[in-house]
Every structure is written in structure tokens, then in C-alpha cells.
Amino acid sequence: MDFSKVIKVLLSAKRIVALTGAGISAESGIPTFRGTGGLWEGYPVEKVATIEGFERDPALVWKFYDERRRNIAKARPNRAHEVLALFENLYDFWVITQNIDGLHSRAGSKNVVELHGNIWRVKCTECGIRYYNYEVPLREIPPKCKRCGGLLRPDVVWFGEPVYDVDKAYELTESCDVMLVIGTSAQVYPAAYLPRLAWSKGAKIIEINPQETPISRYANFVIREKATKALDELYRGLLRAFQEE
């Protein structure tokens, strides 16, 4: 694909927001959320990703998340994560992610909104404290709060729970000039609504996804490439364009 028109749009932008989904982390070896090879395979969703399932059997839920944490600990940020971190040096740049793996922060991104929480953070069901826990594997299942000894839960959003920082996500979406939509199937709300909101406010939508999604119909530019390849080419093209100015 000729990226010259996309680069021209990026050059004129002041604030850019990237909305990322499971596809960007799949290239780091983290299975996508659902389907063949997905992390839910073999685990009924209602047993491991709802508050009811946690209350019924917290040890089962924590065994599942301990396994996920082990998988994620082996993963490394890929070139797509790295480029998004580098964009912060060029723009007022934010990442809104549906991923819970923390790879954006590990790649160096500072401006990250984690809609679905973070698998490395825990929350006490008794005193409410939140903190990061990087034990792999966990020493105790289910883990207990370091402050009060209460039962900890993963600080992630389960089915039926409200997402985190939605007001911040809407504020960024309504004020951006360009939204990059990367590796998301655009089926989970409210994240799926954000590109249309940005588009309705006049932002240019650039979709990066090997597959067609509902966003493809109204995106200004559609790049049918994996995120690592597309973002690396965009970044290189941008640097050349900045040097020529």
C-alpha cells in the first residue's frame, strides 16, 4: 500500500489516539480473546470471567489467571508496541487499549488508558486497595491482601462490569484529529463505539487490521497488514517526511 496519503494526514495532526485490541498482542504470542487457540478455550466463561464465578470458586479463577500471567510474562512488546511508544515523542499521543497484558507500558508508552484493567494489578475484595503483583507463578492461590489479609481478585473487567476510565476515553476520542484502530474486532462496547464517535467529531480514522471489521465501512484509510509491519512502515515514512520539512 502507498502510505503517502496516510502520512500526509498524520503530519497535520496534533492529537492522535490509538485504539488497540487483541490483534496487536497476538504478534507477541499472546492468544486472542476468543476462538481457536483463544484463552477462553476449555474454560467456561461464566466460571472464570464473572463476579459470580469468582465468588463461587476463587481458586479456579485464580488458577486460570495464573496461567494467563505465565503466558504473558513470556511475551515481549513487539515492533507495533514500540512504534506507538515512539509516537509520544512526535505528538500529543494516547493509547486506549482493550488489552490487559501491560505490553504498551512495557514498550515505553506513558499515556495509556486500560479500559479492561491490568492482569498484573490486584484488588482487595475487603479493603479495596489496588497494587501491582508480578509473582510468576503466584506463591498462593487464591492470593491474600498484603495490607488486610483479605481475598484478592484480578483488577480486570469481567463480563457485566463497567469498564475503567471510560470518561477519559471519551474525552480523548472527542478531541483527537486522527484515530488509529489497530487489531480490534470492534465488537465489544464501549470500545467499539469510540471510532464512530471520533469520526462523528471530524477525526480521520485509520484502520490497521488484516481482516475486515465493522469499522472498515467508514474508515478513511484501511491498511490490510499486521500491526508490526504497518506501523513500522508508517513510522519510517513519518520520520522521512519530518526530515524533509
What positions carry a catalytic annotation?
A: 116
Question: Is 32 within any annotated ligand binding site?
Answer: yes
Q: Is 169 within any annotated ligand binding site? A: no
Asked whether residue 39 is marked as a ligand-binding residue, the answer is yes
Binding residue per annotation — 211? Answer: yes
Residue 215 annotated as lining a ligand binding site: no
If one counts every other C-beta atom within 10 angstroms of the C-beta of residue 100, the result is: 25
Handedness of CA 32, 39, 34, 197 (dihedral sign): negative
d(CA 11, CA 36): 39
Length of the chain: 245
231: annotated binding-site residue? no
Ligand-binding site membership of 121 (annotated): no
Distance (Å, rounded) from C-alpha 90 to C-alpha 216? 27
Q: Is 31 annotated as a binding residue?
A: yes
Q: Say how far apart CA 40 and CA 43 lie, in whole Å.
A: 5
Nearest to 33 by CA among 144, 187, 151, 166: 187
CA separation for the pair 88, 106 (Å, rounded): 14
Closest CA to 64 of 132, 154, 151, 1: 154
**42 annotated binding-site participant:** no
Binding positions for NAD(+) are 21-40, 98-101, 183-185, 209-211, 227
Write out the binding residues for substrate. 65, 68
Q: Which residues are annotated as a binding site?
A: 21-40, 65, 68, 98-101, 124, 127, 145, 148, 183-185, 209-211, 227
Residue ranges of the annotated binding site for Zn(2+) are 124, 127, 145, 148
